Every structure is written in structure tokens, then in C-alpha cells.
Amino acid sequence: MSLVAEGLIEKIDSRTARISVVGLGYVGLNVSLSLASEGFEVHGYDIDGSRIDKLLQGINYVQEEDHLSGILPLMLNTKFFPSTDVDNASEVGDIIIVIVPTAEGDIPTLDYLEMALDSITQNDIRGKLIILESTVQVGTSDEFVKPILERGGLKAGTDFFLAYSPERIDPGNTSMRLRNIPKVVGGVNQVSAEIAAKLYEAIVNSVVMVSSMKTAEFVKLMENAQRDVNIALVNLFAIMGEKAGIDIEEALFAASTKWNFHKYHPTCGVGGHCLKKDPVLLAKSFENTGIDLTLIESSRRINDYMPILTAEKAISICREHIKRDPSSVSFGILGLSYKKNSSDSRNSPALFIIERLKERGASDIRCYDPHVNLTIKQNTLKEVLDSNIVIQTVAHDSFKGLLDNYQGYVIDGTNTLDPSEKVIGIGRFPLRGAVGDNILEDHAREEKTAGMASSRE
Ligand SMILES: NC(=O)c1ccc[n+]([C@@H]2O[C@H](COP(=O)([O-])OP(=O)(O)OC[C@H]3O[C@@H](n4cnc5c(N)ncnc54)[C@H](O)[C@@H]3O)[C@@H](O)[C@H]2O)c1
């Protein structure tokens, strides 16, 4: 190992390494404050001035990571220094971590990454370690990031160090926080990976080193593509069940009594910044290779269809039961975030449901989500509960029991309510016969206690 590399490791060990984090969103703020809490001097950069203003006032804007609200004021101006001056990041930091968005909506883009790299190359990066954490297409670190950083004539791996380490945090998940999620690290060469691993060992319990940056990129995309395909499969089962008059939750309960059946639940859609774009990134990584990618592509199509299916259920209630045109029916959307107890509404199924309802002529659409602060107009809970049809899109804890006395029709996009003539779930039918509701309820309770993975979360 070169003297420069040893020097950097020594600085990490003694906590004298200065770290710049470029991009202070859901991931970047978390990583910054974890490093600061471990004694590093962290300089956080973001182009969004309003975010920096909030941080300078000690305000945490990542609502679902509320533990950060206590840490931020403690670290601010002692170990954590937020700024908009991104061009300074590589001047100040010995290690620069880049965690900027890699999609606009659900369309992948490298524009933010390119902008961040342009800022980093404003200064001499000799002897520094640059780590990319954003989720990217396989090959991006080698073929896009490295050439930009080498533009000034320095060579990655010798003149400066370069690593890729995908982020796996799940904002709002209190049982899986940054520290107990193993961190995968790949470097442009062994020494780069070792320095990056050394840094992460300070903030996570387990580091998993892989042999290349592209392996680490592939790992992240595999993880999310696997989840997307699994969810699509259960959504497809639900659609099949609807055609055949089979209650999907009853069938899932029975199937999951087999030891190797992995249970997911159908819902009104998949949202968020990652799950919609990561399988696309994986497929794009292998386009023109002759590999048949239809499994990934059709899973995306099925999951994108779920909000449409949900909206269409409401439309058919208008025509078949209320016997009115959608234009004269009121719709209440209960939940705007894409997952439970979260304020994150990026690519939320609710937004696609609203769009579809409007396309089908609905004009009285009311929305309520106490977690979400969106630019679209929100209504009061009472106004939503006064609607002819309520569509529940997410099972926030605060929504429990809200619909117990509701008299209108409910479309349950979460499959957490008991189905009835007026409560229509995804692939659900009121149960009769052998499997009683109580068995399903007991099973749901057991699942919750065991913390089983579910596509509802
Ligand atoms: N949110 C998650 O749960 C999650 C989980 C794992 C991985 N990721 C990945 O991490 C990356 C970041 O995601 P996020 O959710 O933190 O995004 P985010 O939108 O919450 O935050 C990104 C931040 O980067 C800032 N930014 C954009 N361009 C910049 C630039 N040139 N210089 C400085 N700041 C810049 C934005 O203003 C924003 O504040 C993405 O690639 C995402 O796929 C996210």
C-alpha cells in the first residue's frame, strides 16, 4: 500500500479525515450525520439552498428518519457543516462521498451526477478518495465517473482512489438503520476498496467487499429488481384470482404454509425513488446484449398497471353500484406517500390513481395524508370521509380504524381491511367457508410479530 493510502487510513483511524458529502437527501443526510456522530468532521453540500437553510437552523427535513432531529443540533457547526458551495467539496474533504439523485421521476438520468463530478474536479483530487453511493447502471463508475475524474490527467487507483458503495437504507424502517445494514463496497482497485471499507467500518457493523465497482453496482440493482419481480408476481396472482373468483389473501395464507413459499402481498402499486427506476437501470445495463430481459420489463409493466387497476375499480363502482357518471361522484384518496408511515410521495401510486381518475372524467377528488407535504391541494380528513368512494392507498398507523364507520364504498389498495360488499381489496372477496377471517387475522398478527417482509411496507 502506498504512503498516501496509508496516510488516508491513518486519518480514518484517528478520525482526522475530513469528509465531504455531496447531496444531502434521504441518504446523504443520514450518512453525513452517522459519520459526524462517529467523530469525523463532515462537510455536507447540496445545491438546494432551502435544504441547507433548514439544516443551518437545525431542522431535519427527512421526516421518517426522526432520530436525525436529535442528532442534527448536536453535530451542527461542531462536526457537521452544511453548505451550498459544492465546488468546495473536494478542496475541503480528504474523502468525498457522492449521493445525488439518478432519476427524474422514474426516468434514470446522470445529469446530477455529472454536475457533482464537475464540481469535484474543480480542485486537485490527488490523494483523495471519491466514493459514489447513488444507484447507477452497471459500468457507470468505470465508464462514466472515472473518465470525468481523470480528465485533469490523474489516474484513478494511484493518484486518487475511487470506490462504489451502494446505499441500502430504507427511510422510516426503524429496525434496519444504517448501522445494522451490511455495506457492499467495490473499488477501482484493491487499495481503493480497502480505504472505503475502512471508512464504512466506522459507521456500519458489517462491510462486504466485492472485487469490482461493477459487481457492487450489479448487487444493488439485483436487490431491487428481485423485489420488483416478486411483487409483480403476487400482483399477477391477485389479478388472476380476481378473474377466477379466488381471494388472494386466503390463497397466499394457504400457500405460505409451504416452507419455501415467499409471501408478498398485492397492493395498488409500487412507488418511491428506487423500485421503479432500478430494474430499468438493470435492464438498460444489458440492452443490446441479446439477453432476454422480458422478466424484468414485464414485472415493471404489471406493477405500473396496479394504480390503473385500482382506479378502474372505483370507476366501475360508480357505474355499477352508485349508478352515476364519475364526473358526479366524489373520490377520497386516503394516503399520498408511497409507503407506510412515510412522507415520501415520490412516484406514489396515489398520484397515478388520481391521474387515472381524472382521465376517466372524475373532477371531485379529495386527498388526505398527514405525513405528506405536497404542492397538490390537500383536503381535511372529514372531506375525504364525506366522499362517495374512498381509496386507501397506504396503511399508515394513523389510518387504523378511520374507515370503521364509513358508509360509502372503499377501495382498499393495501389489502389490510377485511373485504365486504363495500370494501373492495386487490384480488379480494368476502370470505365464506373453510378459512375464516379470524385465521387470516391471526396470520397477519403473527407476520407482524415476526417482522416478515411484505410489499405493503
Ligand atoms: N431514498 C432511498 O431510500 C434510497 C435508498 C437507497 C439508495 N438510494 C439512492 O441514493 C441516491 C440519492 O437518493 P436520495 O433519496 O437521497 O435523493 P434525494 O432527492 O432525497 O436527495 C438528493 C439530494 O442531492 C441534491 N443534489 C442534486 N444534485 C446535486 C449536486 N450536483 N450537488 C450537490 N447536491 C446535489 C439534491 O438537491 C437533493 O437534496 C439515488 O441514486 C437513490 O437511488 C436512495
Residue (of 251, 257, 225, 258) closest to 237 by Cα position = 251
Cell of 323: 349508478
User: What are the distances in angstroms from CA 161 to CA 43, 116, 122?
Assistant: 19, 17, 17
455 vs 263: CA distance, rounded Å: 9
- Which is the closest atom of ligand 1 to the Cα of 112? 28
pLDDT at 32 (0 to 100):
98
Rounded (10°) CA dihedral 443, 449, 452, 454: 70
Average pLDDT, integer, range 218-237: 97
Say if ligand 1 is within 6 A of residue 47 CB: yes
Q: How confident is the model at residue 432 (pLDDT cuts 50, 70, 90)?
A: low
Average pLDDT, integer, range 30-35: 97
Please state the pTM of the whole predicted model: 0.91
Coil/strand/helix, residue 193: helix
pLDDT at 120 (0 to 100):
98
Say if ligand 1 is within 6 A of residue 99 CB: yes
Q: How confident is the model at residue 107 (pLDDT cuts 50, 70, 90)?
A: confident
Q: Exposure of 318 by Cβ count < 10 A (0-12 exposed, 13-18 middle, 19+ buried)?
A: buried
Q: How confident is the model at residue 453 (pLDDT cuts 50, 70, 90)?
A: very low
Instruction: Determine which residue's CA is closest to atom 10 belonging to ligand 1.
Output: 134
Residue (of 258, 362, 267) closest to 319 by Cα position = 362
pLDDT above 50: residue 454: no
338 vs 374: CA distance, rounded Å: 13
Q: What are phi and psi of 239, to 5 degrees?
A: -65, -40
Probe ligand 1: pick from 20, 51, 100, max atoms within 8 Å of CB? 100
Residue (of 88, 93, 99) closest to 29 by Cα position = 99
Specify whether the CB–CB gap between 122 and 93 falls below 8 A. Answer: no
List alpha helices for 133-179, DSSP H: 140, 146-149
pLDDT at 99 (0 to 100):
98
pLDDT at 343 (0 to 100):
86
81 vs 92: CA distance, rounded Å: 11
- The per-residue pLDDT for range 211-224, each reduced to its tens digit, is 999 999 999 999 99
Return the minimum-mean-pLDDT range out of 49-58, 175-184, 316-325, 436-445.
436-445
Residue (of 91, 64, 124) closest to 344 by Cα position = 64
pLDDT at 327 (0 to 100):
97
Q: For residue 29, which amino acid is it?
A: L
Q: For residue 150, which amino acid is it?
A: E
Probe ligand 1: pick from 26, 51, 282, 338, max atoms within 8 Å of CB? 26
Question: How many Å lie between the centroid of ligand 1 and the Cα of residue 257?
Answer: 40
Q: What b-and-e string marks burial along 231-258, b requiring 16 or more CB atoms within 10 Å of the CB? A: bbbbbbbbbebbeeeebbbbbbbeebee
Q: Exposure of 110 by Cβ count < 10 A (0-12 exposed, 13-18 middle, 19+ buried)?
A: middle
Rounded (10°) CA dihedral 250, 254, 256, 257: 150
pLDDT above 50: residue 91: yes
pLDDT above 90: residue 265: yes
Specify whether the CB–CB gap between 120 and 22 falls below 8 A. Answer: yes
Sign of CA dihedral 172, 174, 180, 181: negative
Average pLDDT, integer, range 245-261: 96
318 is catalytic: no
pLDDT at 1 (0 to 100):
80
- The per-residue pLDDT for range 268-289, each reduced to its tens digit, is 999 988 898 999 999 999 999 9
220 is catalytic: yes
Average pLDDT over the chain, rounded to an integer: 93
pLDDT above 80: residue 437: no
Probe ligand 1: pick from 83, 114, 273, max atoms within 8 Å of CB? 273
Return the minimum-mean-pLDDT range out of 140-154, 211-225, 297-311, 372-386.
372-386
Q: How many CA atoms lie within 13 A of 348 on its CB side?
A: 24
Say if ligand 1 is within 6 A of residue 22 CB: yes
284 vs 140: CA distance, rounded Å: 12
61 vs 66: CA distance, rounded Å: 9
Average pLDDT, integer, range 138-153: 97
pLDDT at 442 (0 to 100):
55
List alpha helices for 87-149, DSSP H: 89-92, 111-120, 140, 146-149
pLDDT at 150 (0 to 100):
98
Say if ligand 1 is within 6 A of residue 25 CB: yes
Q: For residue 250, which amino acid is it?
A: E
Question: How many Å lie between the centroid of ligand 1 and the Cα of residue 101?
Answer: 4
Average pLDDT, integer, range 76-81: 98
pLDDT above 80: residue 94: yes
Residue partners of 129: CB distance under 8 A and separation at least 6:
8, 94, 95, 96, 160, 161, 162, 163, 192, 195, 196, 199
Residue (of 173, 129, 166, 182) closest to 1 by Cα position = 129
- Percent with pLDDT over 90 in the chain: 84
Coil/strand/helix, residue 392: strand
437 vs 249: CA distance, rounded Å: 10
150 vs 258: CA distance, rounded Å: 54
Average pLDDT, integer, range 240-258: 96
Q: How confident is the model at residue 446 (pLDDT cuts 50, 70, 90)?
A: low
Q: How confident is the model at residue 376 (pLDDT cuts 50, 70, 90)?
A: confident
E strand or H helix at 29, and its extent? helix 26-37
